[in-house]
Amino acid sequence: MSFQEKNAYAALAKTILIFGYFAFRMVQFHLDGRLAGPEAASLVGKSFLVLMAAAIVAYIVLTILFDIGFAIAQKDPKPDFTVDERDRLIELKGMRAFLAIFVMGFVASMAALALGATPVAALLAMIFAMFLGALADDIAKLYHYRRGF
């Protein structure tokens, strides 16, 4: 298993953990009735900004932990960190999957706004589309690495 493939697995786990926590918080806010008031959009925006700041730190820490875990499991004294043309193409295919899903989610949330959805629902739909796009990115990379592209 190449270093880039290991990173794709780690990225998938990190995406699920980080956005899973955000979804958990939004469900808590909904159950508390905080997503129905006049400050709901501000609350979602602030929560998302905090999530992004925390996600950067968590991403770095989890990357280090996953790399250490993979190194221990593989017992490889000199892992290969070389990035070749194939890795770049797989990265681009993952990015294409992310953008396709995110753009569809963005357009769907704008359509929902046009049909009368609340701004908070549209904002959450865009964040959810970003999460689905990130999952699609990671899954596309794993697919192409496993396929042997």
Q: Is 58 left (phi over 0), alpha (psi -120 to 50) or beta?
A: alpha
> Distance between CA 35 and CA 57 in Å, rounded?
27
- Element (H or E) spanning 80, and its range? none
pLDDT of residue 84: 84
What are the residue ranges in the chain where pLDDT is below 50? none
Supply the pLDDT for residue 149. 62
- Please, are residues 97 and 76 in contact by the beta-carbon 8 Å criterion? no
Q: What is the predicted pLDDT for the residue at 1?
A: 67
**Contact present, 140 and 3 (Cβ < 8 Å):** no
Structure-token pair, residue 84? 């070749």
